[in-house]
Amino acid sequence: MNDTINENSDIIKVGDLVLVYVKERTSWLISVHETYEFHTHFGVIPHIDLINQKYGSEYELPNGKKALLLKPSLRDLINFFKHQSQIIYPEDAAIISLFTGLRDGLRVIEAGTGSGALTAIIAAQLMPSGKVYTYDIRESASNTARKNLEKAKISNVEFFLHDVREGFFQDQVDAIILDLVDPWEVIAHAWDALASCGTVCIFQPTYNQIEKTTLALDNHSFKRIEVFEMMRRDIQIKKGAIRPSTRMIGHTGFLIFATKTEKTTKTEETTKTEEES
Ligand SMILES: C[S@@+](CC[C@H](N)C(=O)[O-])C[C@H]1O[C@@H](n2cnc3c(N)ncnc32)[C@H](O)[C@@H]1O
């Protein structure tokens, strides 16, 4: 995935973004301005201190702790996005990217926009000539996402304030990605908007939703229906005690993928009842 900012310079200048990093949950994203200062619980960082420093160099905080001045990646920028709702987890976003085949030049629909975290990840992979059409029903979500993406310098996104249960404004798109409560209401519109062999991806947190969604996919002749979940297990790096961390996020959501083909008869797999299988 691309770094989206500060790509060409190793020296921090006015207007650049810097990740002042002590450790994973103790770091700050600063947009550098000559006269500003940044207040942290480790003391005040005058922005002027950062100007002309080299990215990757060490910086001493007012309390004597050492920080690193890092070039923020897209992952870092998203960590500092303003939240409107639960954002997509990296392990889910990564597999969504692979299974929908995201690459430069594609046209992709996404709903709902939420805070724009998944929008940013999709858009970064479609650059420079591809585009995301992102839909949300809530103006506040759309506005927050716009600001988040502006900060991340991602511009190949068109925003729509619209209930997608009423349909999409595009057709012949390469993929459709849905992260909203009732996607089974949107499957017919997804079929109409997708190009042949296009992929629909649906992210949902509960088993109850999966049943409704997969039935809707089958009823609309989608094929190659797959459902699974991703789990990330962190490993503690400690001398003499390298082992899985005792804490873990046990559930993010389920992922459903399906492909639009020519309308054919139902597949055996999806039409089997419980007794038959
Ligand atoms: C969980 S959030 C999406 C988070 C997003 N994937 C992210 O990573 O930031 C779900 C969003 O779907 C929107 N939504 C729900 N139903 C919708 C509908 N019928 N049409 C458009 N947007 C909808 C909600 O307003 C909400 O902002």
Residue 1: per-residue pLDDT: 40
Residue 164 CA, closest ligand 1 atom number: 20
For the stretch 17-47, what's the b/e string if a residue is b when 16 or more beta carbons lie within 10 angstroms of its beta carbon?
Answer: bbbbbbeeeebbbbebeeeeebebebeebeb
Query: Is the pLDDT assigned to residue 165 strictly greater than 90?
Result: yes
- Given a cut of 80, whether residue 4 has pLDDT beyond it is no
Residue 3: what pLDDT?
42
CATH annotation of 77-263: 3.40.50.150
Give residue ranges with CB within 6 A of ligand 1. Answer: 84-88, 111-112, 114-118, 135-138, 141, 163-165, 179-181
Tell me what pLDDT residue 263 has.
76
Looking at 107-248, list the stretches that DSSP marks H as alpha helix, in order from N- to C-terminal side.
Answer: 117-126, 139-151, 187-193, 207-219
Mean pLDDT, the chain, whole residue set: 93
pLDDT at 168 over 90: yes
Topology of domain 17-72 in CATH is: Vcp-like ATPase; Chain A, domain 2 (3.10.330)
CA of 114 to the centre of ligand 1 (A): 5
List, by residue range, all CATH 3.40.50.150 domains of the chain.
77-263
Atom 15, ligand 1: residue with shortest CA distance? 180
Query: What confidence tens digit (pLDDT) does each residue in 104-147 have?
Result: 999 999 999 999 999 999 999 999 999 999 999 999 999 999 99
Span(s) in the chain for CATH 3.10.330.20: 17-72
Residues 216-245 pLDDT 10s: 999 999 999 999 999 999 999 999 999 999
